Structures are given as structure tokens and as C-alpha cells.
Amino acid sequence: MNRKLNLTVMLGGPSAEREVSLRSGAAVAAALRSMGHEVFELDPRDANWVLPEKTDVVFLALHGTYGEDGTVQQQLEKLGVAYTGCDAESSRVAFDKLLTKQACIEKIVPTPKFLVADSADTPWPLGWQPPLVVKPVRQGSSVGLQFVNRVEEWHTALAESLRYDSEVLVEEKIIGRETTVGILDGQALPVVEVRPKAGSYDYKSKYTAGASEYFCPADFDAATTRRIQDAALGAFKAIGGRDYARVDVMVRADGSPVVLEVNTLPGMTETSLLPKAAAAIGIHFAELCQRMVKLALARQLKMKTEN
């Protein structure tokens, strides 16, 4: 794809992750301009946005609600415009942690034991032991994430997480190494290991410069690496993913992977984890953005020829 395209990068938006999305979008727009494209930046603060005329492809750099939950994808499909990433339905499933869980269980993809709570008064689950993880069913990027290390923290954690959604997912906390796997065009990229310098990989350690260390490719043997990548690909397929995503996977001490969640619109700054994994196999940031556009464009052209 060497021809110059008219591209619209959608960034910002109305979600709790607006600031991160603005950074992703700015990085993507700069990268695509460096590849010679005409790039317009569109911030859909509300539903009254208008797409620039002659837009060939929309690059979605939105995160969180509206951008990642299938809403904007539905609107773009009604407009008949090609856009990057997963379609509306798989975005909706991936953004809903409960639906993702159900999809993984159906396809026999390993995922932590869980239950759903909708009240801060929910009693401690019978037969469970701390530590537990509590997170909103429909939020992204560690928003509202709480860790329960003692039973006394249970009701406070529920109340805090329920500020962000009407339901929360409660999981056993998997003890092990934290990894993430980028998926690009149906292939698993090298595994990235995440090591927060203090505490857990929450919103603060994710977006504070220097708060976490990243190792790519992660230092696992070949068999364990393959198991982690297979689990990630399994989850990606289970939610009906297409083009690209990033799958968070915990790895127990015995090397067995456990999928936490699928991010259909992962961070896209040059230091974000999907670009980091792509760089490990020689795909630089601008080329990665170009490939994402190319996948969307190819799908659009295929649809036109079939019709």
C-alpha cells in the first residue's frame, strides 16, 4: 500500500481513559503522516461528530467506553466506512469482562475462577480465600481495579469498584508472572512480561513513566512461550477478534497460562505494549500503524468486490 490515503484518527472521546487515548491518537497520527498520508484527527466528545469527506479509513485510537465497547464501531458500520480493529460485536464482548469469561469457558481457554457482584453488601463468597481481584465488568485499562488481600477489605473494595459500573467481576488472584501478548493479523507476537516496580499493575503503574519494567521477548522457555501465545490466540478467537488486539495472561509457577482479558483497542504510543512486541520482530511503529490501516482497507475492498 504505497498510495496516499485520507485517514481519520479518532482519539480522545468521552471515556475515563480520554487522556491516554489522546496520547495514542497523537502518536498514530504522527506515524501515519510520516508514511505520507493525509491525516485528520477527530475527537468524538459527544455523538454529534461528523466524519471528514473522502475518509478512506478510520483509525480507532479510542479507549474505554464508547470507543472500545462496540458503540463507535456500530456507527461507522452504518456509515459504510472502513475502520481498524475488531468489529462491533467482538468489541462489545471483549469490553464486557463477564461475556469474555463466558466465551473463554465455552472455548476451553483457561481463565480464573470468578463470580459477579452488584452490591457493596454482597457477603464474602463461601469457600473462597484471599487474595481476590475486584474490577468493573465494563471498564478498560485497570479503571476501578481493586485487590482484596484480607477479608476486612472486601466491602470497601466492592464499593470502590462499583463506582465505575453497576456490576463487578470478582476473581481469584492468580499468583505468578504477568504477561501480555499482542495479536496482529492472526499471529501472536512475542510475549511481553510486565513487572511493576511496586505493588500491582494497576492504572497508576500502567501509565506512570518508570513505574513498571517490560521484558520482550519474555524469558520463558519455548514450550511455555507457545502455551502463553496459544492461550492468548484462543481468547482472541473466542471473542471473535479480527486484525489485532492485546491479551493479558498470567503465568503460574508451573508455566500454565491463565487469560485475564482481551483489549481490542490497546494503547498505541511508541512505548505501548503492542508496539513494543511488534518492534521485537522488526516492525517499527509507523509500519505497524500502516499495517493496521492496510487490514481495514483490504476488508473494505473485499466487501466491495463481493457486492
Report domain 93-110+175-264's class: alpha beta
Query: For the chain, what are the domain ranges?
Result: 6-85+284-306, 93-110+175-264, 114-172
Per-residue confidence in pLDDT tens, the chain, 307 aa: 568 999 999 999 999 889 999 999 999 999 999 999 999 999 999 889 999 999 999 999 999 889 999 999 999 999 999 999 999 999 999 999 999 999 999 999 999 999 999 999 999 999 999 999 999 999 876 789 999 999 999 999 999 999 999 999 999 999 999 999 999 999 999 999 999 876 655 555 555 567 789 999 999 999 999 999 999 999 999 999 999 999 999 999 999 999 999 999 999 998 899 999 999 999 999 999 999 999 999 998 877 777 6
Say what the pTM is.
0.92
Give 6-85+284-306's CATH code, choosing from 3.40.718.10, 3.40.50.720, 3.40.50.20, 3.40.50.300. 3.40.50.20
Q: What CATH code would you report for 114-172? A: 3.30.1490.20
Catalytic annotation, residues: 17, 141, 207, 246, 248, 261, 263, 267
**Interior CA angle at 62 toward 115 and 6, to 5°?**
150
Three-state SS for 96-128 is: CHHHHHHHHHHCCCCCCCEEEECCCCCCCCCCC
Cell of 52: 471528514
Non-local (6+) Cβ contacts of 37 within 8 A are: 4, 5, 6, 7, 293
